[in-house]
Amino acid sequence: MAEVSARPQNELTPPHALTAEQALTQYEADAALGLTQQQAQERLAVHGANALPAAEKDSAVVRFLRHLNDVLIYVLLGAAALTAVLQHWIDTIVILAVVLINAVVGFLQEGRAERALEGIREMLSPSAAARRDGQWQTVPAGDLVPGDIVRLRAGDRVPADLRLTEAQELNIEESALTGESVPAQKSAAPVSPEAPLGDRSCLAFSGTMATSGAGQGVVVGTGSQAEIGRISTMMSEVESLQTPLTRQIAAFGRWLALAVVVMTLVLVLVGMFAHGTDTGELLQAAASFAVAAIPEGLPALITITLALGVQAMARRKAITRRLPAVQTLGSVTVICSDKTGTLTKNEMTVAAAALADRELTVTGTGYAPEGEVHDDAARVDLQDPALRRLTEAMSIANDTQLIETDGRWGISGEPTEGALQAFAAKVGFDPAGVKRTATLPFSSDNKLMATAAETDGGPRVLVKGAPDRLLDRAAAQMGPDGAAPLDRAYWEAQVERLSAQGLRVLAAAERDGSAGDAELLTLDSLEELTFLGVVGIVDPPREAAITAIETCHDAGISVKMITGDHVGTASAIAAQMGIDGGAGAVSGHELEQADDAELRRLAETHNVFARTSPEHKLRLVKAMQAEGEVVAMTGDGVNDAPALRRADVGVAMGVKGTEVTKESAEIVLADDDFTTIEAAVEEGRRIYDNLRKAIVFLLPTNGAQSAVVLFAVALGWTLPLTPLQVLWANMVTAVTLAFAFAFEPAEPGVMRRRPRDPAKGLVELRHMVQIGVVSLLIAAATIAVFQWRIAVGDDLESARTLATTVLVVCQAFYLFNVKALESSSLRPAVLGSSRVAWGCVAGLTVLQLLFIYAAPLQALFESQPLSPEHLAVVTGAGVVVFLVTELIKLALHGRKTRVVRSARPRGADL
């Protein structure tokens, strides 16, 4: 037999487009005999094992060292080297500890992609029932090859991609691949070559689970050639992007390193050639300047601020797996969300019904039997004969039960049937007291289920199923006055009306029972039925999610639905939730046909994408990023994993999400609720604001110290601060005042402004101007006080103690300037709103008093006690800095408003 391996699998005609016989021929398989052991071994040698390739891993040492390859780390190591040269070993140890902690955290976080790939491998079945040498055998799933004949039973995990040749009521749970909320019905009939993944009903995919029925098929894809293998390959090839925060910190670190090196050289040259400064004194000045310019506390500040943000998000049901993702959420411009379970409840619900003479609406959502049925006039219940007959048929011809556990309603059975039982409970009907005598089970070929039962009206045969199948078997309809001639056109119009609303439509019919029905129901006996009515079923939107989407739009964030569901259903739900915007839905087939330029246009102008595959989701994320968007992508299935890894922020569902998805994401939602994403975005914006405030606050400390050293060298003056005093000022402000911003509440209107432009720096030009001016202001106050005290005869140690204290106290006053970064701080809401800020000031005061008066610190830092007059001067300098800074803020920001236009869906009326 010629081997199928002679032609690559991806060059063959798509197996779902072949008949079962053609598939057996193309893969050179024999349904009756299967492969011989020799054939299986030969094909295994060509195709390889039915397993996913293991991810290549660097050694632990290489992965750890990679986390030291960062400009900001180089700056910190430079600071450690300088402090070591000055023999300030405590500072050296502290700085190296910061470097080590950052590297260890990064090392532990690395490998998420490898763990995600491992999660995919764990989805594969360990064994399979395959026909070899004419007999059914249990073989390791890893030994399966194209052309093997494999048998499936309910409860089996599909061991490889199969082209089904037989299917007896076979249903397979494949939501992890397709996003479908209910098990897929399988058959052996071929489908179109262009059929999207969710419509390939003749294929069974590796890693999915057979929930009912039985089937048989020929293996058409193994290992990396199977659908789950293609996803694994995509994940290994997807490049994870840096977050805006890491990019901005890296850019800041590069500019800072360059500036420190250049200015240190300038300082040395000026001192050497302009003033002939002694080499030893000049090196001390250079070391003082370099230490002053490097914000040693910044990495720890960023880490702690993000860590506190992680805790705050966890309280809001969003668990963060990577620290920078907290801040990235604050820059998100687009949220791409799955539909089922995230925007919707993932609980099927009867939303509408139609009888022969009127249309009904049903309130209440989910499986809880809470709600009512209304017509145009009033509530209706079992007193209405037509509604009672419809309800009885839907509830009795039904194998699902409602279950209440700890006050929460669920089902034991199939979701659609669960919706019908909840509908019956709302009407007031309980099927428990009805005796069923015979049942014709649901068939994917017949698309109906029938039950013979003893009801209050006598023996009846009750049928539910697809409306067209029941209409074909009906001769009459139930009207307000009893049976009447069937008006098929009316019912087809009702089905079309409900379907246009995105509802799944089921019908019910009945006939009088007979003695033979109690023993056996057959399809042929279901004739001359009386059509009772139709119901429309939907997975209803989460009410809170609609409000959350409105909030996102107000925040300038576009929300896009990307789902594996059908176009009609997706469009209807999107319209209800305010997502569509009138542009309509784009199908997976349209995405398939679009080139990159057209795809970017579709991604920009449309908000609903249906019947999508993993490749479509990944391409959409890339297209949006190419348009400059910062994308958050949500998902729960393996099919979402590549897009989650590529997105700026991947958000996995914690309840129904697969382990693969969770490992691929930065954020995991503990409640699978879209409102949690909106809350996380708000928290991300708060954290971003607070990080910016902390940096705008912290840098003037370094700027002022650097300016003091530069001016002293340039003018040939004695240094007002020693290197150790510089480190003291850096340390006490970094470990006390700066961390006040980690606890700052969100700014008013934080969710009514545009997302931050990721191309902009962490601090903008106006903030840099403020940093520069305040740095010079504090430096001027420090130098002025130092020179004044030297002029009046104070000794050098006393003057330097006073100068150091001025520097520290001015930062304490400046803290309250920055609490309201772009508005006035002369308000009770700012000055008295934060107990944390005042606690930090109190802590700083205690430390500075120890610096001034404690003998051990006096000996270490060469400080001297200060008089009350000195302390009054210090306080006056802080007040002046505070007031002048308020004037600077007014000049820079004025009455700048932070509220922006709403980012309604494109195409909507604004």
Active site positions, annotated: 338
How, if at all, do strands 127-132 and 135-140 pair?
Answer: antiparallel
Compute the distance between CA of residue 283 and CA of residue 288 in angstroms, rounded to an integer. 8
517 neighbors 525 (Cβ within 8 angstroms):
yes
Compute the distance between CA of residue 74 and CA of residue 67 in angstroms, rounded to an integer. 11
434 neighbors 453 (Cβ within 8 angstroms):
yes
- In the Cβ-directed half-sphere of 23, how many Cα atoms lie within 13 Å? 30
807 neighbors 705 (Cβ within 8 angstroms):
yes
| Tokens 């009326």 found at | 909
Please list, in sequence order, all residues whose beta carbon lies within 8 angstroms of the beta carbon of residue 786, skipping any fewer than 6 positions away.
720, 799, 800, 802, 803
Report CA torsion sign: 61, 64, 69, 74: negative
Question: What would the DSSP string read from start to end of 141-152?
Answer: GGG--TT-EEEE
Two structure tokens written together for 798: 């006393």
Question: What would the DSSP string read from start to end of 40-89?
Answer: HHHHHHHH--SSPPPPP---HHHHHHHTT-SHHHHHHHHHHHHHHHTT-H
User: What type of residue sits at position 872?
Assistant: A
| Tokens 């119901």 found at | 535
SS3 of 549-566: HHHHHHCCCEEEEECCCC
Compute the distance between CA of residue 214 and CA of residue 205 in angstroms, rounded to an integer. 15
DSSP H/E element including 675? helix 674-714
Compute the distance between CA of residue 421 and CA of residue 394 in angstroms, rounded to an integer. 8
- CB count, 10 Å around CB of 602? 17
Q: Which long-range contacts (CB under 8 A, 24 or more apart) does 441-449 make?
A: 441/169, 442/169, 443/169, 444/167, 444/169, 444/171, 444/185, 444/186, 444/187, 445/187, 446/523, 448/526, 449/397, 449/398
